[in-house]
């Protein structure tokens, strides 16, 4: 009788693979919703920074808007105003503003 009871209890337990299936599913959802889009944004940002050239108007990660005066491998000289220049690490350039881009809200 004990053998029948043990066989009945053992038959109800799902295989180990089915126990890990929800974890695998959550991992795939995490990959497609979070990791993959973040990697795509990083590649796009790296391409923008690599294509940075003199005369581009940029926004730094700190929110400063200026015009690129000089670019080398690691740095960009940015003119923020008349005779006001700063040197920024290229990777801290947040975005490149297209010509004729956004106008000020109070204009």
CB-count exposure of residue 64 (10 Å: 0-12, 13-18, 19+): middle
The CATH code of the domain at 2-97 is 2.30.30.30
Q: How much is the CA Rg of the chain, to the nearest whole Å?
A: 28
Confidence at residue 40, expressed as pLDDT on a 0 to 100 scale: 94
Is the pLDDT reported for residue 47 higher than 50?
yes
Condensed to tens digits (0 to 9), the pLDDT of residues 21-30 reads 889 999 999 9
Condensed to tens digits (0 to 9), the pLDDT of residues 51-104 reads 899 999 999 988 999 999 999 989 999 999 999 999 999 989 988 988 875 555
Short-list 31, 30, 85, CA closest to 54: 85
Q: Is the pTM of this model over 0.75?
A: no
């Amino acid at each position: 009788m004990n053998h029948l009871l043990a066989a009945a209890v053992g038959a109800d337990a799902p295989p180990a693979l089915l126990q890990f299936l929800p974890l695998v599913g959550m991992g795939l959802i995490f990959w497609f919703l979070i990791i993959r889009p973040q990697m795509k944004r990083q590649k796009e940002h790296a391409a923008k920074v690599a294509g940075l050239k003199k005369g581009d108007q940029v926004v730094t990660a700190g929110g400063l808007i200026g015009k690129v005066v000089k670019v080398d491998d690691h740095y960009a000289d940015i003119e923020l105003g008349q005779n006001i220049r700063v040197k920024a690490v290229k990777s801290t350039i947040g975005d490149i503003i297209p010509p004729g881009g956004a106008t000020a809200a109070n204009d």
